[in-house]
Amino acid sequence: MDAAWAWASAALTLAITGLYEAVLLLPRQLAPARHAGLREAWLRAVSGQPGSELLAVQTLRNSLMSATLQASTAALALMGAATLAAPSLHTGLGGTGGLGQGGPRLLMELVLLALLSASLVASLMAVRFYNHAGFIVGMPTASPVRAGWADVGVRYVRRAGLLYGVGLRQLVLVVPVVAALLVPASGPVAALVVVAVLVALDRFGGEAVPA
- Model confidence pLDDT, tens digit, residues 139-183: 998 889 988 999 999 999 999 998 998 899 999 999 999 999 999
Measured CA to CA, the distance from residue 46 to residue 5 in angstroms comes to 56
Domain that holds residue 127: 32-172
94 within some domain: yes
66 within some domain: yes
In DSSP notation, 118-143 reads: HHHHHHHHHHHHHHHHHHHHTS-TT-
Average pLDDT, the chain: 84
**Span of 11-15, 131-135, 207-211 with lowest mean pLDDT:** 207-211
Q: What is the pLDDT of residues 83-131, one digit of tens each?
A: 888 777 666 555 544 454 458 888 899 999 999 999 999 999 999 999 9
42 within some domain: yes
Among the listed residues 70, 191, 161, the one whose alpha carbon sits nearest the alpha carbon of residue 124: 70
Q: What is the pLDDT of residue 86?
A: 75
* Sequence-ordered list of residues with C-beta below 8 angstroms from that of 14, at least 6 positions apart, any chain: 111
Q: What is the pLDDT of residue 27?
A: 56
Residue 194 has pLDDT above 70, yes or no: yes
Q: What is the pLDDT of residues 46-84, one digit of tens each?
A: 888 888 889 999 999 999 999 999 999 999 999 999 888
Q: What is the pLDDT of residue 113?
A: 94
152 within some domain: yes
81 within some domain: yes
Number of H helices, E strands in the chain: 8, 2
167 within some domain: yes
Q: What is the β-pairing status of strands 203-204 and 207-208? A: antiparallel
Q: What is the pLDDT of residue 25?
A: 59
20 within some domain: no
